[in-house]
Amino acid sequence: MKKLKISVLFTDDKFIRSLNNKYRGIDKPTDVLSFSLQEGAVKSPELESDKLLGDIIISVETAQRQADNLNHSMEKELTVLLIHGLLHLTGYDHEKDKDYKIMRGKESEILKIFALQPYV
Protein backbone atom coordinates (compact mmCIF):
# COMPACT_ATOMS: atom_id res chain seq x y z
CA MET A 1 0.00 0.00 0.00
CA LYS A 2 1.36 3.40 -0.97
CA LYS A 3 1.83 6.11 1.63
CA LEU A 4 0.81 9.53 0.40
CA LYS A 5 0.95 12.87 2.14
CA ILE A 6 -1.40 15.83 2.05
CA SER A 7 -1.76 18.98 4.08
CA VAL A 8 -5.19 19.99 5.31
CA LEU A 9 -6.11 23.44 6.58
CA PHE A 10 -9.43 24.15 8.27
CA THR A 11 -10.21 27.83 7.98
CA ASP A 12 -12.99 30.41 7.90
CA ASP A 13 -15.00 31.95 5.05
CA LYS A 14 -12.91 35.12 4.97
CA PHE A 15 -9.64 33.31 4.26
CA ILE A 16 -11.05 30.78 1.78
CA ARG A 17 -12.85 33.63 -0.03
CA SER A 18 -9.53 35.42 -0.51
CA LEU A 19 -7.96 32.23 -1.91
CA ASN A 20 -10.95 31.54 -4.14
CA ASN A 21 -10.72 35.07 -5.52
CA LYS A 22 -6.95 34.95 -6.00
CA TYR A 23 -6.73 31.54 -7.67
CA ARG A 24 -10.13 31.11 -9.33
CA GLY A 25 -11.33 34.69 -9.81
CA ILE A 26 -14.47 33.98 -7.77
CA ASP A 27 -14.99 36.55 -5.03
CA LYS A 28 -17.04 34.47 -2.62
CA PRO A 29 -16.35 31.73 -0.09
CA THR A 30 -16.39 28.10 -1.14
CA ASP A 31 -16.44 24.88 0.82
CA VAL A 32 -13.16 23.31 -0.29
CA LEU A 33 -10.15 24.19 -2.42
CA SER A 34 -7.42 21.81 -3.54
CA PHE A 35 -3.96 22.77 -4.72
CA SER A 36 -2.06 19.92 -6.35
CA LEU A 37 1.72 19.78 -6.20
CA GLN A 38 1.78 17.20 -9.01
CA GLU A 39 2.07 18.02 -12.70
CA GLY A 40 -1.15 17.45 -14.65
CA ALA A 41 -3.81 14.89 -13.83
CA VAL A 42 -2.38 12.07 -11.74
CA LYS A 43 -4.53 8.98 -11.25
CA SER A 44 -3.80 6.76 -8.26
CA PRO A 45 -1.86 3.97 -10.05
CA GLU A 46 0.73 6.56 -11.11
CA LEU A 47 1.24 8.03 -7.65
CA GLU A 48 4.58 7.45 -5.98
CA SER A 49 4.86 6.56 -2.30
CA ASP A 50 5.77 9.24 0.22
CA LYS A 51 4.90 12.06 -2.20
CA LEU A 52 3.16 15.19 -1.03
CA LEU A 53 0.07 15.38 -3.23
CA GLY A 54 -0.88 18.91 -2.28
CA ASP A 55 -3.03 21.04 -0.03
CA ILE A 56 -6.71 20.86 0.85
CA ILE A 57 -8.34 23.92 2.41
CA ILE A 58 -11.80 23.58 3.96
CA SER A 59 -14.00 26.38 5.27
CA VAL A 60 -15.57 25.14 8.50
CA GLU A 61 -18.16 27.95 8.32
CA THR A 62 -19.35 26.88 4.87
CA ALA A 63 -19.15 23.22 5.88
CA GLN A 64 -21.39 23.89 8.89
CA ARG A 65 -23.97 25.71 6.75
CA GLN A 66 -23.98 22.85 4.26
CA ALA A 67 -24.32 20.25 7.01
CA ASP A 68 -27.25 22.18 8.47
CA ASN A 69 -28.91 22.58 5.05
CA LEU A 70 -28.47 18.88 4.26
CA ASN A 71 -29.54 17.86 7.77
CA HIS A 72 -26.48 15.76 8.49
CA SER A 73 -23.54 15.98 10.88
CA MET A 74 -20.55 18.25 10.58
CA GLU A 75 -18.40 15.11 10.73
CA LYS A 76 -20.06 13.76 7.58
CA GLU A 77 -19.74 17.10 5.78
CA LEU A 78 -16.05 17.40 6.60
CA THR A 79 -15.51 13.81 5.45
CA VAL A 80 -17.29 14.52 2.16
CA LEU A 81 -15.24 17.67 1.59
CA LEU A 82 -11.98 15.92 2.42
CA ILE A 83 -12.79 13.12 -0.04
CA HIS A 84 -13.78 15.71 -2.65
CA GLY A 85 -10.47 17.51 -2.16
CA LEU A 86 -8.50 14.26 -2.35
CA LEU A 87 -10.17 13.36 -5.62
CA HIS A 88 -9.15 16.72 -7.06
CA LEU A 89 -5.56 16.08 -5.95
CA THR A 90 -5.60 12.75 -7.80
CA GLY A 91 -6.82 14.28 -11.04
CA TYR A 92 -10.61 14.17 -10.85
CA ASP A 93 -12.62 17.22 -11.90
CA HIS A 94 -16.25 18.20 -12.33
CA GLU A 95 -16.20 21.01 -14.87
CA LYS A 96 -18.04 18.96 -17.52
CA ASP A 97 -21.23 16.95 -16.91
CA LYS A 98 -19.47 13.69 -17.83
CA ASP A 99 -16.63 14.40 -15.39
CA TYR A 100 -19.10 15.48 -12.69
CA LYS A 101 -20.84 12.08 -12.90
CA ILE A 102 -17.53 10.23 -12.73
CA MET A 103 -16.33 12.25 -9.73
CA ARG A 104 -19.67 11.94 -7.88
CA GLY A 105 -19.59 8.19 -8.49
CA LYS A 106 -16.10 7.93 -7.02
CA GLU A 107 -17.16 10.07 -4.02
CA SER A 108 -20.12 7.75 -3.41
CA GLU A 109 -17.89 4.70 -3.66
CA ILE A 110 -15.48 6.09 -1.06
CA LEU A 111 -18.25 7.31 1.27
CA LYS A 112 -19.68 3.78 1.36
CA ILE A 113 -16.32 2.53 2.64
CA PHE A 114 -16.82 4.85 5.62
CA ALA A 115 -20.44 3.64 5.97
CA LEU A 116 -21.72 7.09 4.99
CA GLN A 117 -24.51 7.66 2.53
CA PRO A 118 -23.62 9.90 -0.39
CA TYR A 119 -25.55 13.07 -1.12
CA VAL A 120 -29.01 12.42 -2.46
Residue pLDDT, tens place only, 83-111: 999 988 988 888 787 878 888 888 888 88
The whole-model pTM stands at: 0.81
CA–CA distance, 82 with 86 (Å, rounded to integer)? 6
The reported pLDDT for the residue numbered 1 is 60
Kindly tell me the burial class for residue 55, based on how many C-beta atoms sit within 10 Å of its own C-beta (0-12, 13-18, 19 or more).
Answer: middle
Instruction: Specify whether the CB–CB gap between 85 and 31 falls below 8 A.
Output: no
Tell me how far apart the alpha carbons of residues 116 and 114 are, in angstroms, rounded to a whole number.
5
pLDDT for 44: 54
Question: What pLDDT shows up at residue 39?
Answer: 62
Half-sphere exposure of 89 (CA within 13 A, CB side): 25
Residues of the chain with pLDDT below 50 are 120
Q: Which CATH class is domain 4-113?
A: alpha beta
pLDDT of residue 103: 80
- Torsion 42-47-11-116 (CA) sign: positive
